[in-house]
Amino acid sequence: MPLAVLVSGGGSNLQSILDKIDAGSLDAEVRLVVSNKPDAYGLERARARGIATWSRPHTDFGSREAFDAEMVRVIGEHGVRAGAGAVVLAGFMRMLTPGFLHAFPGAVVNIHPALLPSFPGTHGAADAEHYGVRLAGCSVHFVDEIMDHGPVIIQAAVPVLPGEGADALAARILTLEHCIYPQALAWLAAGRLHIDGRRVLVADAAP
Ligand code: GRF
């Protein structure tokens, strides 16, 4: 399955996806890594492996729609389009427009460092820690037009350790993200995910 991975930062989730592809446990190919931050370290990870990259500050564009339309065009040039492949948000810190989402129906996924629907937004892990929850975690979900809202594919939970603080909790959650994102993508690549309203059904593997 061809993938376009969108990053704004360090790209450790991108790295975990690449590692699982290398290990043979994810049948996918990262065709392109896209960023709105030309200095995102995730782009370096891609270049180091000879993966194509595209990066432009979103502020270069006159509107959100114009930036997204250009991303759709470039992603399509690399073989990810409606019915072919998926768009993987891996720390991409921008909301996508309806026009972008309509270009890849049922094929845009995101990872969020909280147990949705709790703590959507840009600081999910810290918000959970500050709230005082006993269980925290992460969620992979299909993307819709509302932030951190689309149907959930997989979640993983960790206990919050007394006094550990938000940074340590976020780091432990990130380790879990590196497990569940490749798993969700492996299901998607195998055609095993079916959206049924808010629910995502994971079909049995073919015998
Ligand atoms: C992760 O915590 C992810 O859940 C959130 O942004 C962070 C990205 O980390 N959406 P990285 O760039 O993959 O290291």
- Ligand 1 atom at shortest distance from the alpha carbon of 9: 12
Whether 207 shows a pLDDT value over 80: the answer reads no
Q: Which residues are catalytic?
A: 112
**Distance from first CA to last CA of the chain, Å, rounded?**
20
Q: Do 161 and 136 meet the contact criterion of CB atoms below 8 Å apart?
A: no
Distance (Å) of CA 31 to CA 136, 144, 155, 176 = 33, 23, 26, 25
pLDDT in the model for residue 127: 98
The answer to whether residue 36 sits within a structural domain is yes
Work out how many domains the chain is built from and give that number.
1
Separation of alpha carbons 100 and 77, rounded Å: 15
Q: Helix H segments across the chain? A: 12-23, 41-48, 64-77, 98-103, 124-131, 165-189
Dihedral of alpha carbons 139, 140, 145, 149, sign? negative
pTM: 0.96
CATH code of the domain containing 63 = 3.40.50.170
Cα 207 to averaged position of ligand 1 atoms, centre (Å):
34
Cα 158 to its chain centre, rounded Å, is 20
Cα 168 to averaged position of ligand 1 atoms, centre (Å):
14
- Confidence label for 79 from pLDDT (cuts 50, 70 and 90): very high
The answer to whether residue 130 sits within a structural domain is yes
Cα 50 to averaged position of ligand 1 atoms, centre (Å):
22
The answer to whether residue 207 sits within a structural domain is no
Q: What is the pLDDT of residues 101-147, one digit of tens each?
A: 999 999 999 999 999 999 999 999 999 999 999 999 999 999 999 99
Whether 182 shows a pLDDT value over 80: the answer reads yes
Separation of alpha carbons 61 and 69, rounded Å: 10
The answer to whether residue 119 sits within a structural domain is yes
Instruction: Write the residue with the smallest CA distance to atom 6 of ligand 1.
Output: 91
* Residue 110 assigned ligand-binding role: yes
The best mutation among 174, 175, 181 to test binding of ligand 1, ranked by most ligand atoms within 8 Å of the C-beta, falls on 174
* Residue 36 assigned ligand-binding role: no
For residue 160, the enclosing domain spans 2-202
**Which DSSP symbol is given to 153?**
E
Give mean pLDDT, residues 25-37. 97
* Residue 11 assigned ligand-binding role: yes
Give mean pLDDT, residues 59-86. 96
The answer to whether residue 121 sits within a structural domain is yes
Q: What is the pLDDT of residues 146-163, one digit of tens each?
A: 999 999 999 999 999 999
Nearest alpha-carbon partner for 115 in 100, 93, 131, 102: 131
